[in-house]
Amino acid sequence: MKTSIMQVKNLTKQFGGITAVNDVSFDVNQGEIVAVIGPNGAGKTTLFNMISSVLPPTKGEVWFMGERINGAPIHSLAGKGITRTFQNLQIFENMSVLENVMLGVHTQMKTNVYSAALRLPRVKHDDELARRYALEALEMIGIKDQMNEIAGNLPYGLQKLLEIARAIVSNPKLILLDEPMAGLNDGETSKIANILIEMKRNGLSFLFVEHDMKTVMRIADRIVVIDFGNKIAEGTPEEIQKNQKVIAAYLGEEVL
């Protein structure tokens, strides 16, 4: 039996007289990859931003592990077990790969500015833990050999992998991915897809927005389709490929 860890309930977002997202609901289960797709301007990013507390909904709720999280401070989501990547990379370009991932660990630790300034024993302990966890994440993602490279000098595909490594290092239950395949070549796309599948096998859940339909159909367990702010379909890749409303939304005409 599948266990639902996130429930999106009737999310709606209005900007003045414009409804960008209208009454969208779906669940994400443990150990599941769920994709949100739709034509350009369908409302996917707005929906994603509401789920991750970047935008407050006009109406509706988001629940995670039995707790309502919409309205929660963005920085608190990692402590609840949710991390997010962005389409526009959010890495520290002048820091090393290892230092970037270690920052993802330190956000979960209890060391404060006073203990850091005094170099109390806890600080050294936390640094050692952060380094160990960061190295484990880099090895899992496959970029441990680049640990000492300056992040801004990495090829774009490796920077994407770095951001995923930083997302997983905090031991989340759910990762939100905003177009993880954007700008990647076929080899890089395949590598990230394989990593997501492997992490799913270990019980991690993913919710992602993506335009690469080949990858979506390959790795998603379930697909939610948005058009003009409305959910028009939800189902397995096989079901979505045959759905006439989805075909019409992408081709602009009904397929009989």
Per-residue pLDDT for 114 more than 50? no
Question: How many other CB atoms sit within 10 Å of the CB of residue 16?
Answer: 5
What are the tokens at 146? 């680049």
Regarding predicted confidence, which is higher, 119 or 8?
8
CB 135 within 8 A of CB 142: no
* Mean of all residue pLDDT scores within the chain: 88
Per-residue pLDDT for 152 more than 80? yes
Q: How confident is the model at residue 112 (pLDDT cuts 50, 70, 90)?
A: very low
Percent of the chain with pLDDT over 90: 61
In CATH terms, is domain 4-81+172-251 a member of 3.30.70.1450?
Answer: no
pLDDT mean over 135-144: 90
Residue ranges of domains in the chain: 4-81+172-251, 94-158
pLDDT, one tens digit per residue, over 22-60 is 999 999 999 999 999 999 889 999 999 999 999 999 999
CA distance 254 to 246: 9
pLDDT, one tens digit per residue, over 190-232 is 999 999 999 999 899 999 999 899 999 999 999 999 999 999 9
Per-residue pLDDT for 246 more than 60? yes
Pick from 16-20, 65-69, 150-154, 180-184: least confident: 180-184
